[in-house]
């Protein structure tokens, strides 16, 4: 008896009638000569190896009351007629008919009361070929672990006798399991897990010390992805109907292109997927301005680890669907891949795949069913737009009943809010793409697969053109011959007139006046009052005598000379002399606008004091005379 890890069990809890959580592969074979007993030979081949692969005999057993994750039990009563099936394609037996049949098979969930696997032997392919569709629940293994089972499912030599048979992998399990044992082991696992968590605290502290400086960067990275993620037609609740699409590329050419650009095969896969989705969404009028976000599975499995379980985590990567040209799109995909790797390097320090929480099965299953029943993916923002996965496949040829495999296509899982899954596997010198989607959401998924091939041709052509030795000169000539673009006139947008902002009043500087300045100001005010009275009297009398205008000195107007009236002379009032020039002092207020101008030629500083006293005496005398006349 072996309990599922938390990650393994999660694929069970998230399963709904519309989203079966199994993965599969489709392998096509080309026999050297036609034969009528191919299916019987394949069934006998599988029956002879039932004890070599644990997944052949393992079935699930739930824990009572959903206290903990289910366990694996060995099933000795295996019905091969149920697990190994036979099907035939209608004529002409091409890839279109094969894809349609596989889409129907992939839409059917596995029976949890039996071991979670099915093989379908498909006959009737054109040119006398056949195919094998292998379906396994994702709770049993991930893609990397599935590669380790190929040596049992198929052969790596045309004649099985040329190989040494694999060693036994499934030990007998004679122990009986009842409800009491399942409950007690669940409680024991929960207690043991708590103790393991306590012992793991030092390692957690070391991981925090190692990744602490990057936590802020990673948080900004994740927030930017969520904030900028657009919504596409793929991000909706799906049905249980499926559509399957395939395409293939020469792996040698993909690797050569990656090397020439300093990229990886995974970078090229992301760039090609982005180019195909750009065309597909553009044709539907649904291409967003921002790049799409892909969920990219990354393996946590150490080198050489072939355990049949799940050790995988999802990272995020931008798909540069907003870049039109092939080579710049590859550069953008390469930069996004580096960001995803940096994030994954920090996250893997904290990820564990084995957590036991009492009551977790009931809680997670309830949330998944509520999510599916409420069609929440139609109005809640998606976690990512689609899934893109790249799994390295076998580098040696595979055989089934003596026939060599020609292609090895993968199939994965679409889910609510993520109706399209693109998975890539390599086999020999071929890179095989398998696209599985909800047929109600993406009915023409084969167009995306075809666009991947066309975009690869465009990328190769751009790379070949860029590699020419005279490309720099050609680009320079093209830029020189190209006329400068005319400036685009900015359209006038009429808007409602807004009132001009009121100028802020400037605060006047408060300057403390000197005593002499205050006296001068008072004298100026008295002189102004006297002039007003004289002007009134002149207007009432014989008339006003206009002063002569003298020529200015240094371009400035000469000061006006004041003449007294005859009445003033007869009264004995002396004529008002010219005021002496004054040096402006700090803090003194400017003279009024209608005050007489200062003389242009200033007397010497030594005479200024005497002149000021004389002016004060004469103005005082004039003021006394004026007072007498008015009385």
At 284, list the tokens.
């539907």
Q: Look at residues 119, 117, 123 and name the one whose alpha carbon lies nearest to residue 154.
A: 119
Give the CA angle between residues 355, 356, 358 to the nearest 5°.
145
DSSP element (H, E) containing 131:
strand 130-137
Q: Which of 83, 137, 138, 407 is catalytic?
A: 138
Note whether 297 and 313 are within 8 A (CB): yes
Q: Please confirm, yes or no, whether 318 is among the known catalytic residues.
A: no
Q: Which residues of 485-512 are buried (b: 16+ CB within 10 A; e: fewer)?
A: eeeeeeeeeeeeeeeeeeeeeeeeeeee
What is the phi-psi region of residue 555: left when phi exceeds 0, alpha when psi lies from -120 to 50, beta otherwise?
left
- DSSP state string for 279-321: HHHHHTT---SSPEEEEEEEE-PPTT---SS--EEEEEEEE-T
Give the CA angle between residues 257, 263, 265 to the nearest 5°.
70
Give the CA angle between residues 378, 383, 389 to the nearest 5°.
115
Token pair 């809680």 in the structure block, residue: 363
Token pair 């997927």 in the structure block, residue: 273
Is the omega angle on the peptide bond into residue 465 within 30 degrees of 0, that is, cis?
no
Beta bridge partners of 88: 123
Q: Look at residues 208, 202, 194 and name the one whose alpha carbon lies nearest to residue 350.
A: 208
- DSSP state string for 58-93: EEEEPPGGG-S--EEEE-S---HHHHEEEEEPPTT-
C-alpha 234/C-alpha 246 separation (Å) is: 18
Distance set, CA 518 to CA 317, 509, 514, 594 (Å)? 80, 17, 6, 20
- DSSP state string for 394-442: -SS--EETTEEEEEEEEE---BTTB-EEEEEEEETTEEEEEEEEETTT-
At 212, list the tokens.
């602490």
Note whether 428 and 53 are within 8 A (CB): no
Instruction: Provide the annotated active-site residues.
Output: 138
């Amino acid at each position: 008896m072996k309990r599922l890890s938390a990650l393994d069990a999660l694929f069970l809890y998230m399963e709904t009638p519309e989203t079966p959580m199994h993965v599969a592969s489709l392998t096509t074979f080309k026999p050297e000569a036609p034969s009528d007993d191919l299916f019987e030979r394949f069934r006998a081949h599988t029956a002879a190896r039932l004890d070599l692969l644990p997944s052949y005999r393992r079935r699930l057993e739930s824990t009572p009351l959903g206290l903990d994750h289910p366990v694996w039990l060995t099933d000795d009563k295996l019905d091969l007629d149920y697990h190994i099936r036979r099907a035939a394609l209608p004529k002409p037996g091409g890839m279109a008919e094969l894809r349609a049949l596989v889409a129907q098979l992939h839409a059917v969930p596995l029976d949890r009361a039996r071991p979670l696997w099915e093989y379908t032997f498909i006959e009737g392919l054109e040119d006398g070929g056949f195919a094998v569709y292998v379906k396994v629940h994702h709770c049993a293994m991930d893609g990397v672990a599935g590669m380790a089972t190929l040596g049992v499912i198929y052969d790596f030599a045309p004649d099985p006798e040329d190989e040494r048979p694999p060693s036994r992998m499934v030990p007998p399990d004679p122990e009986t399991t009842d409800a009491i044992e399942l409950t007690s082991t669940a409680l024991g696992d929960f207690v043991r897990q708590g103790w393991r968590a306590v012992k793991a605290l030092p390692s957690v502290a070391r991981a925090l010390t190692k990744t602490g400086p990057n936590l802020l960067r990673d948080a900004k990275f994740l927030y930017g992805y969520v904030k900028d993620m657009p919504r596409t037609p793929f991000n909706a609740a799906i049905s249980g109907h499926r559509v399957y699409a395939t395409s293939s590329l020469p792996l040698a050419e993909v690797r050569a292109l990656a090397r020439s650009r300093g990229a990886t095969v995974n970078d090229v896969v992301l760039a090609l997927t982005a180019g195909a989705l750009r065309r597909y969404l553009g044709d539907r009028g649904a291409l967003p301005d921002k790049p799409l976000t892909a969920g990219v599975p990354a393996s946590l499995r150490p080198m050489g680890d072939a355990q049949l379980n799940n050790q995988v985590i999802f990272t995020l990567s931008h798909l540069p669907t907003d870049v039109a040209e092939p080579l710049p799109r590859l550069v953008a995909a390469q930069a996004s891949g580096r960001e995803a790797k940096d994030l994954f390097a920090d996250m893997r320090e904290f990820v564990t795949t084995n957590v036991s929480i009492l009551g977790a099965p009931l809680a997670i299953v309830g949330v998944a069913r509520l999510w599916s029943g409420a069609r929440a993916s139609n109005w809640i923002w998606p976690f990512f737009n689609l899934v893109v996965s790249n799994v390295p496949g076998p580098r040696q040829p595979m055989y089934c009943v003596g026939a060599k495999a020609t292609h090895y296509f993968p199939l994965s899982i679409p889910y609510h809010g993520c109706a399209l899954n693109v998975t890539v596997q390599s086999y020999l010198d071929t890179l095989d793409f398998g696209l599985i989607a909800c047929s109600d959401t993406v009915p023409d998924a084969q167009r995306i697969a075809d666009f991947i091939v066309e975009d690869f041709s465009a990328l190769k052509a751009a790379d070949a053109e860029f590699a020419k030795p005279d490309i720099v000169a050609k680009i320079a000539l093209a830029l020189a011959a190209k006329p400068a673009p005319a400036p685009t006139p900015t359209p006038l947008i009429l808007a409602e007139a807004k009132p001009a902002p009121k100028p802020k009043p400037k605060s006047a500087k408060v300057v403390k006046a000197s005593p002499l300045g205050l006296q001068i100001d008072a004298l100026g005010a008295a002189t102004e009052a006297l002039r007003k009275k004289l002007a009134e009297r002149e207007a009432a009398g014989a008339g006003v005598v206009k002063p002569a205008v003298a020529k200015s000195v240094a371009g400035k107007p000469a000061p006006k000379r004041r003449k007294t009236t005859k009445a003033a002379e007869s009264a004995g009032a002396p004529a008002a002399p010219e005021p002496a020039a004054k040096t402006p002092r700090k803090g003194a207020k400017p003279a009024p606008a209608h005050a007489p101008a200062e003389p242009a030629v200033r007397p010497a500083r030594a005479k200024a004091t005497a002149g000021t006293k004389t002016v004060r005496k004469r103005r005082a005398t004039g003021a006394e005379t004026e007072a007498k006349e008015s009385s």
